[in-house]
């Protein structure tokens, strides 16, 4: 009976981890070339495909730079891309162990302002659904939301009872989006925003502005203003 000469398969995660280890250990310093895929495959005793898979993600995150013929190098400028998830507010609040609450402040049809039109790439006569709402954590103001929705993109929203379900939640469950733009900044609280959030006028407010698109049609533009002290944490 012949001996079973098959190796245990080598996982791409294992290779990735080992490459990371060598970089951390200084074995492959920034800027240094690393062996090509064929050699690495031989060293690890696996198919080249597997090495490729392992290195692809490292290159995607920017830790490695790959060019045909030139080979693969440890990036000289570890570019550090940060990713963070756009939260579903209710989940976010409940994750912090608080009771979530929601209140609709205003609902109206309105002509888009110039600023909104430019962000959503709309015609000058575009009429949008404008919503202002407050999200609560344990009854305290958590985030104020000023939202514009295009009924042309999402006609169904006109029939939704947005006093009960937040536009955020409804859109998330009913309209997929394929692209989005997110802008982060700090703003002083305007008088009415300060009143809604229950903070002093001029307080430093963390603000997220978001436009989401389905193909080439803008679905919604929203300015979310968080109560003072809000922090967003992500991993690089």
Partner DNA sequence: CAGTGGTCTAGACCACGGT
Partner DNA sequence: CCGTGGTCTAGACCACTGT
Residue selected from 9, 30, 45, 71 as contacting a copy of itself according to rule CB under 8 A: 30
Looking only at the bridges linking them, the beta strands covering 204-214 and 33-34 are unpaired
CA 113, chain centre distance (Å): 26
Q: Is 71 in the site for DNA (CB under 7 A)?
A: yes
Could you tell me the strand order of the sheet in which 33-34 lies? 33-34, 71-74, 64-67
Give bridge partners of residue 73 from the DSSP assignment. 33, 65
Sign of the CA dihedral running 182, 187, 193, 195: positive
- Report the residue number, 61 or 90, with the smaller CB distance to DNA: 61
Which one, 36 or 173, has the nearer CB to a copy of itself? 173
Task: Pick the stretch among 45-53, 106-114, 157-165, 224-232 that binds DNA (CB under 7 A).
Answer: 45-53
Is the CB of 131 or the CB of 227 nearer to a copy of itself?
A: 227
Question: Is there binding between residue 72 and DNA (CB under 7 A)?
Answer: yes
Which tokens is 7 given?
């190796």
Binds 198, which of DNA, a copy of itself, none (CB < 5 to 8 A, cut-off by type)? Answer: none
Pick 13 or 178: Cβ nearer DNA: 13
Closest C-alpha to 72, from 93, 98, 41: 41
Strands 71-74 and 100-111, by their bridges, are unpaired
CA distance 210 to 76: 33
Closest separation between CB of residue 31 and DNA, Å? 15
Sole binder of a copy of itself in the list 63, 116, 122, 162 (CB under 8 A): 63
Which one of a copy of itself, DNA, none is in contact with 105 (Cβ closer than 5 to 8 A by kind)? Answer: none
Pair of tokens at residue 33? 């070339």
Can you give the binding site for DNA, defined by CB under 7 A?
A: 7, 9-14, 36-38, 45-50, 52-53, 55-56, 59, 66-72
């Amino acid at each position: 009976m012949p001996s079973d000469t098959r190796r245990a398969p080598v996982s791409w995660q294992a290779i990735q981890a080992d490459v990371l280890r060598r970089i951390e250990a200084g074995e492959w310093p920034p800027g240094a070339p690393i062996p090509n895929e064929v050699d690495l495959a031989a060293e690890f005793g696996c198919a080249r495909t597997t090495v490729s898979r392992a290195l692809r993600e490292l290159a995607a995150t920017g830790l490695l730079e790959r060019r045909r013929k030139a080979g693969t190098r440890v990036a000289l400028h570890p570019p550090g891309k940060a990713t963070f998830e756009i939260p579903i507010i209710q989940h976010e609040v409940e994750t912090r162990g608080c009771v979530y609450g929601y209140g609709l402040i205003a609902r109206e049809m309105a002509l888009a302002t110039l600023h909104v039109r430019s962000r959503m790439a709309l015609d000058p006569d575009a009429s949008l659904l404008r919503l202002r709402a407050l999200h609560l954590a344990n009854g305290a103001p958590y985030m104020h939301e000023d939202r514009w929705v295009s009924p042309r993109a999402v006609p169904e929203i006109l029939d939704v009872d947005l006093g009960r379900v937040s536009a955020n939640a409804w859109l998330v469950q009913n309209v997929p989006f394929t692209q989005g733009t997110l802008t982060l900044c700090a703003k002083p609280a305007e008088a009415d925003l300060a009143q809604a959030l229950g903070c002093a006028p001029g307080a430093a407010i963390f603000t997220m502005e978001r436009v989401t698109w389905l193909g080439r049609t803008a679905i919604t533009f929203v300015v979310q203003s968080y109560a003072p002290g809000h922090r967003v944490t992500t991993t690089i």
